[in-house]
Amino acid sequence: MEKKGSLDVVGIGLRAGGDVCVSAKAYIEQADTVLIVVPDSFSKNWLATLNSNVQDLTNLYQQGKSRAKTYHEMTQKIVDEVKSGQKVCAVFYGHPGVFVNASHQAIKSLKSEGFRAQMLPGISAEDWLFSDLNIDPGTHGCMSIEATQFLLYERPHDIYAYTILWQIGLIGDHTLALSKTNQYHQGLTLLKSKLLRDFPLDHELIIYEASTLSIISPRIERLSLNELTDVKLTAASTLVIPPISDAPFNLEILAALNLSKDDIKEPLKIDE
């Protein structure tokens, strides 16, 4: 039997008021308590027009404080409110399940104790990236991974697919602590060396930052791999590495299927 309190986790997308879906807005309006983690005052003010009982969890972030500790505190606050019998809506910007720890942990904890808890999808930075850069991940494929994970671990890298490295402005930082100083330069140097195993110095890269307001254009900065260590980055920066070329055919598989290269529809070119 489900207990009285409940949790609905929603995402409002990147552009408050514009990206939010109808069902997410309804959960916000109908909640007893709305707990929010959004980065800008416009979003906070807009959410306050939908529900008068809004609590901002963003202030749990502090310079020098481990993000792991912050995520734990957010999770605990969400869980406590639900256990008190409240119908809670936890609101995150972007997609509430992408690079969000507290949403997953709170749902897992509450479900294990018999509470109703669910997550609704939201429009993420990746969704805007595909639109703004005119990329179809179904054409060449896509590897999407946090930048420091890509750097620290030896794992297969498909150079024939798009590679999206999130949080490139924090590359090399494994401390989960917010810092006032940018310490990504050494990480970029190491990343450049790693990419040079497979890509030429003049291979084009893209620095992308999604726009959070319709009146502001996204950052789309194209540069060569050789220029990677000179680029200025922020916490919102993402690095996109286009494929080096179309992938080569597996001739053994083609033969087994009694096919030739001419029988296969070529993937669309990158610039199309």
Beta bridge partner(s), residue 26: none
Buried b / exposed e over 206-226, threshold 16 CB at 10 Å, is bbbbbebeeeeebbeeeeebe
Neighbours of 52 (CB within 10 A): 7
Residue 153 is among the residues annotated as catalytic for this protein? no
| List 15, 27, 93, 208, catalytic entry | 93
CB burial of residue 133 (10 Å; 0-12, 13-18, 19+) = middle
Residue from 15, 27, 61, 67 carrying the catalytic annotation: 67
d(CA 254, CA 29): 55
The answer to whether 233 touches 170, Cβ cutoff 8 Å, is no
Q: For the chain, how big is the Rg over CA atoms in Å? A: 22
Instruction: Point out the catalytic residue in the list 15, 27, 61, 71.
Output: 71
Residue 129, C-beta contacts closer than 8 angstroms, at least 6 positions apart:
135, 164, 208, 210, 238, 240
Give catalytic status of residue 71 as yes or no: yes
* Residues pairing with 119 in the sheet: 9
Q: Is 184 a catalytic residue?
A: no
Task: Note whether 182 and 173 are within 8 A (CB).
Answer: no
Q: Which residues contact 121 (CB under 8 A, 6 or more apart)?
A: 11, 95, 96, 97
Note the maximum CA span of the chain: 66
Supply the residues annotated as catalytic: 67, 71, 93
